[in-house]
């Protein structure tokens, strides 16, 4: 072989190798990033011709693709309908859009995830059309259904976590919607449905459990105030605290009363009694005493201000800035500009239930291939240790009194199994409406669930309370776990 032919041969060989490497890189490494790019409309359009993988709960598909007769296209269907819409979201090739897990787990459902490389190679070698992978969720269907039924169409949300692992057992936002109406191949009908849902004043497309506008937490924030008090070393559950019927916030003429308009107990109750009675004045004065720095430190330790993907994006909860004493008093009882998601408050309850250790919430238990064979499993991950084990034990005792004591505000969640809880009734500043809260978990040695429930007041019932309105929802969810192991 002469020198010129040899040079041409080497150049051609290098070109072939370069093309092979480029193709390999694009198909196996860059594909997930390219497909996830929101500017890539081809992903949605092309996906209509791909057998997108299922979303599975307890062995049953709550989202799947079916072949359209006499067509190469597929249509997404949702057997789980309204029950799981806040989890699945929706995928629509006709609307060129996706939300919820359909968007967050796009690379898996489309078959482009790194964990599905063996499936892609097998399809390439056998000539099969590319298939999507599936995701198996941590959701407990009994708990999810209990949340849906107990909320009963009211505006609100409920979250249940396994305190020891962070697995999301339920995530429900109400009112819900049927994703099938958005996934249909009739683009005109799908668009009309979407516009109607967008214009609906109850905002069913908003996921109130993890996003939305967030809520004022009201008295469930006293979990964090109490944690800061106990962590300071200056308080124990038996420490006597001030509990007048009302206080004047420092530097203002604004009165902050107890909800009963009466002194807390005898006016100087032990902390655990003030907590069980949910006395505003006691916790406002304590927050002022502890100060902004230590209160903020405790809130952030529980996850406030942190971005979180489960993989649904969770809107960070807010602890306000630049607080004077008057605002600090309001923050201590979960008012002012404190804003939280039900997911955040479920995390607070779960950390207390788990001896002070906060685990990262997650929705996807495992990734499976087209044959439903596991390819990747999620491992539990610790987010932090917001409180000491001793503090967690003290808080659990105080939360148990909320349910068991005759003056406790959480008696609506009482059941044969002891329950630890904290109620909340948060003022929204809108037409006298409130948000009802309940954070609760079984007061056992090994609690398997921690729940947070938020119910919004509406035109028919503007004033809702934690015990009367959120409590029964929390109880139904806990009972679902206890009944189903």
Cα angle 389, 391, 395; round to 5: 115
User: Are 351 and 452 within 8 A, CB to CB?
Assistant: no
344: left (phi over 0), alpha (psi -120 to 50) or beta: alpha
Q: Are strands 382-384 and 358-359 parallel, antiparallel or unpaired?
A: antiparallel
| Residues forming beta bridges with residue 156, ordered by sequence position | 174, 455
Element (H, E) at 225: helix 222-231
Say which residues have a Cβ less than 8 Å from residue 375's Cβ, sequence separation at least 6: 115, 116, 118, 119, 133, 366, 367, 368, 369
Exposed/middle/buried for residue 421 (C-beta within 10 Å: 0-12, 13-18, 19+):
buried
* Both tokens assigned to 37: 């790019």
Q: Tell me, yes or no, if 219 is annotated catalytic.
A: yes
CA distance 279 to 257: 9
Sheet containing strand 450-456, edge to edge, reads 168-174, 156-161, 450-456, 434-442, 419-427
Active-site residue, from 86, 94, 173, 219 = 219
Residues taking part in catalysis: 219
């Amino acid at each position: 072989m002469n020198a010129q032919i040899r040079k041409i041969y080497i150049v051609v060989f290098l070109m072939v190798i370069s093309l092979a490497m480029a193709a390999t890189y694009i198909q196996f490494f860059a594909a997930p990033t390219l497909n996830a790019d929101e500017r890539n409309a081809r992903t949605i359009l092309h996906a209509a011709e791909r057998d997108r993988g299922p979303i599975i709960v307890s062995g049953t598909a709550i989202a799947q693709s079916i072949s359209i007769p006499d067509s190469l296209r597929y249509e997404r269907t949702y057997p789980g309908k309204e029950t799981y819409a806040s989890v699945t979201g929706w995928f629509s090739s006709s609307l060129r859009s996706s939300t919820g897990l359909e968007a967050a787990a796009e690379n898996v459902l489309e078959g482009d995830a790194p964990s599905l490389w063996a499936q892609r190679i097998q399809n390439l070698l056998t000539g099969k059309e590319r298939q999507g992978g599936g995701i198996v969720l941590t959701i407990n269907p009994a708990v999810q259904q209990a949340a849906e039924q107990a909320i009963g169409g009211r505006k609100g949300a409920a979250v249940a976590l396994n305190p020891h692992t962070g697995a999301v057992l339920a995530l429900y936002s109400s009112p819900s919607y049927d994703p099938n109406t958005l996934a249909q191949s009739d683009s005109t009908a799908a668009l009309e449905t979407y516009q109607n849902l967008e214009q609906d004043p109850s905002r069913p497309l908003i996921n109130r459990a993890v996003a939305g506008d967030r809520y004022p937490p009201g008295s469930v924030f006293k979990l964090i105030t109490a944690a800061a008090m106990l962590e300071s070393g200056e308080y124990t559950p038996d420490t006597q605290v001030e509990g007048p019927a009302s206080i004047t916030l420092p530097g203002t003429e604004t009165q902050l009363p107890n909800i009963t308009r009466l002194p807390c107990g005898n006016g100087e109750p032990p902390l655990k009694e003030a907590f069980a009675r949910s006395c505003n004045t006691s916790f406002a004065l304590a927050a002022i005493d502890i100060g902004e720095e230590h209160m903020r430190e405790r809130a952030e330790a529980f996850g406030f201000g942190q971005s979180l993907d489960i993989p649904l994006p969770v809107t960070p909860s807010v602890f306000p800035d630049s607080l004077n004493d008057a605002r600090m008093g309001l923050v201590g009882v979960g008012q002012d500009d404190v804003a939280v998601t039900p997911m955040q408050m479920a995390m607070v309850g779960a950390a207390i239930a788990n001896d002070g250790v906060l685990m990262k919430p997650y929705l996807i238990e495992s990734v499976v291939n087209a044959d439903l064979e596991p390819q990747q499993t999620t491992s539990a991950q610790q987010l932090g240790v917001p409180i000491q084990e001793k503090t967690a034990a003290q808080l659990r005792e105080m939360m148990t009194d909320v349910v068991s004591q005759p003056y406790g505000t959480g008696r609506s969640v009482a059941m044969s199994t002891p329950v630890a809880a904290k109620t909340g009734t948060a003022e929204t500043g809108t037409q006298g409406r409130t948000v009802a809260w309940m954070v609760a978990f079984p007061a056992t040695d090994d609690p398997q669930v921690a729940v947070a429930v938020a119910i919004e007041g509406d035109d028919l019932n503007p004033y809702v309370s934690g015990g009367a309105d959120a409590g029964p929802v929390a109880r139904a969810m806990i009972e679902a776990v206890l009944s189903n192991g």
